[in-house]
Amino acid sequence: MLETVRGPRQLIVGEGVAQNIPRVVAESGSRVLIVTDRVLLGQPGVAAIVAAVREKVQVVEVFSDATPDVPLTDVALAVAAAARVDADVILAIGGGTVIDLAKIVGVIRRHGGSPRDFYGESKVPGPTIPLVAVPTTSGTGSELTPVSVLTDPDRALKVGVSSVHIVPDFAIVDPELTYTCPATVTAHSGIDAFCHAVESYTARPRPHGPRDPVEQVFLGRNQITDHYALLAAERIARSLRRAVLDGGDTDARADMSYGSMLAGLAFSHAGNAAPHALQYPIGAATHTPHGLGVGLLLPYALDAAGDAISDRLANLAGVCGLDVTDASDAEAADTFLTWLDGLLADIGIPPTLADIGVARADLPRFAEMASGVTRLIQNHPGPTDTASLTAILEAAWTGDRTRRVLTTSRDSGRPRP
């Protein structure tokens, strides 16, 4: 046995817990950089948090110019804002973009250099300044994870900084802050969280040596990540449609916050896989939302790996509330994938890459680029050569959702979790 669990120093979850933010920030430092975006800053709930923090600490600088996908220009501007007040703590209030930006600002604030010095796994040399992360969406899980995803204009795909040192010190997850999240953002962030759960649960298990949990970030699935992933999938499956349809459904919002949090804990160790790796070049080329891309790609990647994970897809069918009691693994897996198609359609995810402007001629190039994202691709449970990745993209471009007959059924009546 060789496993590790990663997460914040303290995770606080539940309705109303945002009232603790000023105290947590003040106990972490006295010169605060608040990272958010202009839309959020104009919302009463976020404005009230900012005002309350101002009353508790000596100095507050607000950087509210965060833009999607964390371009390096935003990093430079936010680092300069932190320097102006000699910030010793960062408060991030927003979605994944905002929290990812805050993470890399903390790295540079403590260690200097530029974001390019830290691309890849375990390049951050040590702890950063304290970070309090407060999500306003239910999806990325960035408030819990060791990853910051950036956009570099000199590269044709998104890049990641992955290190145990950039996990936020405190994560304060209050579903009430998600009530104003628009339906489209709810859909895209929510399906991203579902992808995190499913990709973690189906990730390839890998043997490890005693140095690996320190030198690597994503290590493949284990029993702990399986537990988090299945709980996350259950919550999200029962509530994502409801949250998209009615943003005022507080029970659904609570489920989504909780499910997103659990999925973040799962992939902080297990890691994401092919849908995320393939979305990197596609997202950079099409400028489409991250969650839309990974959600679109998920069923095609699972279908391609079906022979290796039919038992796991069958378990997912059970936790997602599908009636597969008397089904074989192959039948239950097919039921899950068909249900997933319906979920994606119901929340507005396009069915094909052609629908989001991907040129078919670019598919082999995108597959080649994704194959180089080793920290993700090595978790995919199916073949990962360029030809196999290209085949996934071809299916996603044409919309070929015809399910193959899976051949790995083990029994016909095994109880599902």
Q: Which one has a higher pLDDT value, 251 or 410?
A: 251
Q: What is the pLDDT of residues 90-137, one digit of tens each?
A: 999 999 999 999 999 999 999 999 999 999 999 999 999 999 999 999
Instruction: Indicate the helix (H) or strand (E) that contains 34.
Output: strand 31-35
**What pLDDT score was predicted for residue 1?**
65
Would strands 147-150 and 120-121 be described as parallel, antiparallel, or unpaired? Answer: unpaired
The one-letter code for the residue type at 17 is V
Dihedral sign computed on CA atoms, order 379, 278, 308, 227: positive
**What pLDDT score was predicted for residue 416?**
37
DSSP string of 189-203, one letter each residue: HHHHHHHHHHHHHHS
Q: How far apart (Å, rounded) are the C-alpha atoms in residues 217 and 163?
A: 6
**What pLDDT score was predicted for residue 411?**
36
Q: What is the pLDDT of residues 154-195, one digit of tens each?
A: 887 788 999 999 999 999 999 999 999 999 999 999 999 999
Two tokens, residue 32: 């605060």
Q: What is the pLDDT of residues 315-337, one digit of tens each?
A: 999 999 999 999 999 999 999 99
DSSP string of 292-330, one letter each residue: HHHHHHHHHHHHHTHHHHHHHHHHHHHHTT---TT--HH
Q: Are 252 and 242 in contact (CB under 8 A)?
A: yes
Q: How far apart (Å, rounded) are the C-alpha atoms in residues 87 and 395?
A: 49
Q: How far apart (Å, rounded) are the C-alpha atoms in residues 45 and 25?
A: 17
Q: Which single residue is written with the structure tokens 């994970």? A: 309
365 pLDDT higher than 80? yes
Q: What is the pLDDT of residues 219-229, one digit of tens each?
A: 999 999 999 99
Two tokens, residue 91: 């408060």
Q: Are 380 and 204 in contact (CB under 8 A)?
A: yes
Q: Which single residue is written with the structure tokens 């040129």? A: 359
- At residue 92, the 3 state secondary structure works out as strand
**What pLDDT score was predicted for residue 395?**
97
**What pLDDT score was predicted for residue 92?**
98
DSSP lists the bridge partners of residue 173 as 13
**What pLDDT score was predicted for residue 2?**
74
Q: What is the pLDDT of residues 38-53, one digit of tens each?
A: 999 999 999 999 999 9
